[in-house]
Amino acid sequence: MAINFNNKHKAFHTCYLAGTGGGKSTAVKLLAAESALNLFGPHVAIFDLYKEYVFDGRKKNDLFNGLGQRPVYHFSTRKSFAKSFVDAWRSGKKFVVAYSPEFPDSLKGDDLRIARKAELEWFGQLMWKALDGNRRLDILVEEYAKLVDSIAKDSSIIGEIATGGRKFGGVLHTVFQRSQEVPKTIWNNSPRKVLGAPEAKADAESASKELSIRAAEVVKLGVLNAVYDEERMHYIAKLKGGIGNVEPYRLYLQTGKVEIMDFEELNAA
């Protein structure tokens, strides 16, 4: 299990949420990977069902390659992933590894969902056993809402990492479409939140209450994304705990440059 309890670690758990096409994965790949924001440390493990973070060594200038151009090594079996992760973790060197389990085509519906949850539980247990309060381990789970049973207390190993991982150097990153879809255990224990454009007015209203901002400001993200389309994406991010500490950002898709806006500029745009 996790070792070297250290209560001095700050809470850095992060949620990324946006509707379809609203920039969730872009936020992780470019905004979170921006060194100035420091959302990711040197050691990263990803539960990547859909291989969102595939790295191609031939595309060195592609900003969306891997995790913000950091090489990501994918593995589809428990044995191969565990060996790679353990070797990398023991080495102390910088790494990003991803587990993308494969399932037979015959698995459908609830059976497939149960199988995916079992793989996430295995992945989470491995992460929990590896946690070491003497160093940081970032754990990223893509499409987390598809892997939970309810929005009640999260009693899975991911919930355990959310509530107790901080003290052992664990930083949990979860990606989903709306806060209403995930357990409050995850949302309430993640002081950092990155919000992209929502898909519906109800989602904007819910996010506005959670972040203590106006719903119209959340809606504006989608409006600006439509206007600037492939040029840049817009976000509202809360990168520190407590009420407030919320700022809008723009992310230039061609260069990866991140700029902090203010709400007056966001509303006037």
Q: Per-residue pLDDT for 40 more than 70?
A: yes
**What's the number of domains the chain is made of?**
1
3-state SS, one letter per residue, for 95-124: EEEEECCCCCCCCCHHHHHHHHHHHHHHHH
Q: What is the pLDDT of residues 118-154, one digit of tens each?
A: 999 999 999 999 999 999 999 999 999 888 887 777 7
pLDDT in tens, 71-110: 999 999 999 999 999 999 999 999 999 999 999 999 999 9
The overall average pLDDT reported for the chain is: 92
Tell me which residue of 174, 171, 246, 242 sits closest to 207, measured CA to CA: 246
Rounded Cα gap, residues 262 and 267, in angstroms: 9
What is the pTM (predicted TM-score) of this model? 0.95
Residue 155 belongs to some domain of the structure: yes
User: Would you say residue 36 has pLDDT above 80?
Assistant: no
Residue 207 falls inside a structural domain: no
Picking from 142, 145, 106, 108, the residue whose alpha carbon sits closest to that of residue 123 is 142
Provide the CATH number for the domain around residue 57. 3.40.50.300
Answer yes or no: is 205 within a domain: no
Q: Is residue 37 part of a domain?
A: yes
Instruction: Decide if 193 is inside a domain.
Output: yes
Q: Which residues, in sequence order, are bridge partners of residue 44?
A: 96, 138
User: Phi-psi region for residue 244, left (φ > 0), alpha (ψ -120 to 50) or beta?
Assistant: left
- Residue 242 belongs to some domain of the structure: no
Question: By percentage, how much of the chain surpasses pLDDT 90?
Answer: 72
- Residue numbers of the domain that contains 115: 14-200
The single-letter code of the amino acid at 13 is H
In a domain, 49, yes or no: yes
Whether residue 243 is contained in a domain is answered as no
CA distances from 55 to 48, 52, 60, 196 (A): 13, 9, 9, 24
> Would you say 193 and 211 are in contact if contact means Cβ atoms under 8 Å apart?
yes
Residue 243 — very low, low, confident or very high, per pLDDT cuts 50/70/90? Answer: confident
Q: Give phi and psi for 74, each to the nearest 5.
A: -95, 145
